Amino acid sequence: MKYIIYARKSTDEEDRQVLSIDSQINELKEFAAKEKLEIAASLCEAKTAKEPGRIIFDQMLKDIESGRADGILAWHPDRLARNPIDGGKVIYLVDTGKIKSLKFPTFWFDDTPQGKFMLNIAFGQSKYYIDNLSENVKRGIRQKLRRGEFPGWAPTGYLNDLKTHTIVLDAKKHKAIKKIFELYSTGDYPLESLIAVLNDFGLKTRTGKSFTPSMVQNILKNSFYYGAIKHNNELYQASHEPIITKKLFDKCQEVMAGRGKKKQRLVHNFAFTGLMTCGVCGCAITAESQKGYTYYRCTKKKGSCNQKYTREENLVSQFKDSIQKVSLPDDWADKMLNRLKTEKYQTEQSSSTLVSSLKAKIIDVDDKLDKLLDSHLENVIDKDEYVAKKKKFINQKIDFEEKIKDISDKGNNWLEQMRDFILDAKTIKKVAQEGDLQKIRQSIKKVGSNFILKDKKFYFTAHMGWRVTAQSAAFTNWQGR
């Protein structure tokens, strides 16, 4: 009688007590020598037996049907099958006499009704073990999600803390993730330019390669970064520290949706395309490179236009001059900031009232979530409706919590907005001094709108606050003369 040794180990099963494939082969060969069994072949397979489809296992059964061997030697019946189809095949071949002997060092089998009955039980126990293991894993995942814990490897920007079994911020990488969200939300940065930002921070994939545009897009679409876990299309509020706010996340989704409808304009990455229109015909201003220089001109899509090319250096000089004009002198800004500090205390009482109102809204949302779950469990609403409404309520709750945090951190009132504006007006002149073209573009968009290029001159309408600073700066310069 010839036997085929069959050894199997599955990497996706949590049965670590089972010997490795090499150990199984060695043990089975020693058993064969001890029992004086003739071995026709030794087969091994690294694949789960939870479902049919094992190539080597199926080939072994074909070899037995063809008469190459008439017995199987395995460590335990669960190495042969953990699903009813493969188990049934083995039992059928035993019934038809194709398999004349089954040998297991850890399990007794004899080709008798009692022996086949016990083999059936062994296969059934193996199936039960897998099903029970799967259900326990799913139950554990659901429990983790209810606690706001992510059941998997932390996304880029976070680390798995193996001691506390929690997810924490990566000290360096989370700054890069926040940066690409902030840049993308402006609408001025394509995915390719965000890859360069990640490279500057030294971020690589788990395999040590650079990120691809699709990987960056997946990061920008991941709700995990604002504190919500999406699992099986259902949203759960997370317990980890968010990297960005939901407001910033939503802004990025708007930019992404807009780009999905039409081609991105910054194909050649010219710093100021898409910013200005022609002051004569109203067409867009485009750019091109000639002999090492960048020139901006009217697209002339409406017909002939007498406007000539403008060198980028000339435009940058005008941009810098405009930025300088709207900046505040340091001494003025410092006096205004000190005044705001004295005003802040008087407004804290109104902030506490607002916080109380937001906390009441959070309690109301929690109550709605409880009622929603009850309705789902009682089959009043179906799964799809439950998931959709749950997502809406959780996002509302995160919005309220972010507003409370915003008030606690810096005060959600006009004083803080004024403080931010004064700081911008004080520091914006540094942008002109540094000369970073993308930062200059962002600064120009921050201070004004309706950007026009006419006769090589740049014109724009300053926003109200910046108009005041420009007038103040002009008054200061006049006094200096």
Tokens standing for 80? Answer: 């042969």
Strands 2-8 and 38-45: parallel
Cβ atoms of 158 and 170 within 8 Å: the answer is yes
SS3 27: helix
Structural element, H or E, at residue 39? strand 38-45
Q: What is the pLDDT along the chain (481 residues), one digit of tens a residue?
A: 899 999 988 754 444 445 678 888 888 999 999 989 999 999 999 888 888 989 999 999 999 999 999 999 998 888 888 888 888 899 899 989 999 999 998 887 877 787 788 888 888 777 777 766 666 667 777 778 888 888 888 899 999 988 888 899 998 899 999 999 999 998 888 899 899 899 988 898 888 889 999 999 999 999 999 999 988 888 898 889 999 999 999 999 999 988 765 544 444 678 899 899 999 999 999 999 988 899 999 999 999 999 999 999 999 999 998 888 888 778 877 888 888 777 766 666 667 778 888 899 999 999 999 898 888 888 888 989 999 999 999 999 999 998 888 777 655 456 667 777 888 888 888 888 888 898 899 888 888 889 999 999 999 888 876 766 655 544 333 333 2
Each domain of the chain, given as residue ranges in start order, spans 2-143, 148-263, 331-414
- Max Cα distance, the chain (Å): 113
What is the DSSP code (8-state) at residue 107?
Answer: B
- 251-255 long-range CB contacts below 8 Å, 24 or more apart? 251/185, 252/181, 252/184, 252/185, 252/220, 253/221, 255/184, 255/185, 255/187
Query: Distance between CA 149 and CA 147 in Å, rounded?
Result: 6
**Which residues face 458 on adjacent strands?**
453
Distance of alpha carbon 481 from its chain centroid, rounded? 56
**Which residues face 169 on adjacent strands?**
158
Q: What are the φ and ψ backbone dihedral angles of 270, each rounded to 5 degrees?
A: -70, 135
CA–CA distances in Å: residue 285 to residues 273, 323, 457: 6, 21, 13
Query: Distance between CA 103 and CA 64 in Å, rounded?
Result: 15
Other beta carbons within 10 angstroms of residue 103's beta carbon come to: 19
Tokens standing for 113? Answer: 């009704």
In which residue are the tokens 């809204």 written? 361
In which residue are the tokens 């930062």 written? 439
**Which residues face 229 on adjacent strands?**
236
Kindly compute the dihedral angle of the four CA atoms of residues 63, 67, 68, 74, in this order, to the nearest 10 degrees: 70
Tokens standing for 272? Answer: 């100021």
Query: Distance between CA 31 and CA 300 in Å, rounded?
Result: 87
Q: Which CATH architecture has domain 148-263?
A: Alpha-Beta Complex (3.90)
Residue type, 214: S
Write out pLDDT tens, residues 176-235.
999 999 999 988 888 998 998 999 888 988 888 899 999 999 999 999 999 999 888 888
* CATH class of the domain defined by 2-143: alpha beta
Q: Which of 122, 56, 128 is nearest to 94 (CA)?
A: 122
What is the DSSP code (8-state) at residue 280?
Answer: T
Query: Distance between CA 256 and CA 190 in Å, rounded?
Result: 10
Cβ atoms of 191 and 216 within 8 Å: the answer is yes
Q: Which of 74, 259, 188 is nearest to 436 (CA)?
A: 188
Write out pLDDT tens, residues 432-467.
888 889 889 988 888 888 999 999 999 988 887 676
Cβ atoms of 422 and 274 within 8 Å: the answer is no
Task: Classify burial at 134, counting beta carbons within 10 Å of its beta carbon; exposed 0-12, middle 13-18, buried 19 or more.
Answer: exposed
In which residue are the tokens 């095949």 written? 89
- Hey, CA dihedral for 209, 213, 214, 216, is it positive or negative? positive
Tokens standing for 432? Answer: 């002109």
Kindly compute the dihedral angle of the four CA atoms of residues 88, 90, 92, 98, in this order, to the nearest 10 degrees: 170
Kindly compute the dihedral angle of the four CA atoms of residues 345, 346, 352, 353, in this order, to the nearest 10 degrees: 180
For the entire predicted model, the pTM comes to: 0.50
Query: Distance between CA 10 and CA 27 in Å, rounded?
Result: 18
Helix residue ranges per DSSP H, 411-460: 414-434, 437-447
Query: Distance between CA 2 and CA 439 in Å, rounded?
Result: 78
